[in-house]
Homo-oligomer: A and B are copies of this chain.
Amino acid sequence: MTQHIAFIGLGNMGGPMAKNLIKKEFKVTVYDLNAKAVADLKSAGANTADNAKSAIQDADVIISMLPNGAIVKSLYTGSNGLINHVKKDVLIIDSSTIAADDARAVAKACEQKGIAMIDAPVSGGTAAAEAGTLTFICGGEAAHFENAKSVLSAMGRHIFHAGASGAGQVAKICNNMLLAIHMIGTAEALNMGAQQGLDPKVMSEIMKASSGNNWSLQVYNPYPNVMPNVPSSNDYQGGFMVDLMSKDLGLSQELAAKSKSATPLGALATQLYQIHQGTGAGGKDFSSILQLLQKNN
């Protein structure tokens, strides 16, 4: 029997994710405040609804991909929350990147009503969302995780169970903090080498074959024209915006404070992206942090 999926939140990530579900022949009903995004999904074959409540009416699975924790909490919980209107045996999958405590609050509200819910933030960005090769990092009960796998596999390649509710968010935020750190570190190393007259292409090859190797060097080089088809070679357009990296780093520092975890480089990375954002770079790809380090005179 075809599963009916309600998809709420059709932004740069949610839109292509919902399209991949349609391609895999799930029945998909979508909702977003943005009418243009809804129309785009309609032409891709989705059913549409006038509001979130009607979108989820007959849904076996609800997936949400929303900008922040406050929106996720108000969508699901409270007196008008969707969890008061869902079908029996529904599975809720929230793929938004939000604070672990917000994810846990929604999961707790679901649990009190006997509703299955997992947090399932993603890694991989818009390219992976379009290609259906996202990494899903899930938190929640093992049984719910198992039930979510077939749906998540339609949108992603790696599906991980990180632990209990909120664990998906914790792992995602730790990952993105580490990403920011090695991106800045890679930019520092390449910039210092270039200042000494070394060719960033040669430097990159050397460090990829050495202990400096990391994802930024492998697939997302921040130095212009070292790699084709990355934002740095396209004036830092597209990709993962500084504004979004700043948001994730903010979540990492909230988590660090709450868990009393020492994150000295994470804290400085947060400040550096804040400075970069303050220069007006918020809409550029996050690898543009190189420009903050470069001399302009």
Interface residues of A (CB under 8 A from B): 100, 123-125, 135, 137, 158, 160-164, 166-167, 170-171, 174-179, 181-182, 184-186, 188-193, 195-199, 202-203, 205-207, 209-215, 218, 220, 252, 255-256, 259-266, 268-269, 272, 292-293, 295
Contact = CB atoms under 8 A, between A and B. Distances in A.
A125 B210 CA distance: 10
Nearest to A295: B260
Contact of A207 (B174, B185, B188, B218): B174
7 contacts: A158-B210, A170-B198, A171-B202, A177-B192, A181-B188, A188-B265, A191-B262
B163 A260 contact: no
A290 to B, nearest CB: 10
A137 to B, nearest CB: 6
Contacts of A158: 209-210
Given A175-B211, A181-B181, A189-B178, A196 B266 contact: no
B174 A189 contact: yes
B171 A198 contact: yes
Nearest to A100: B196
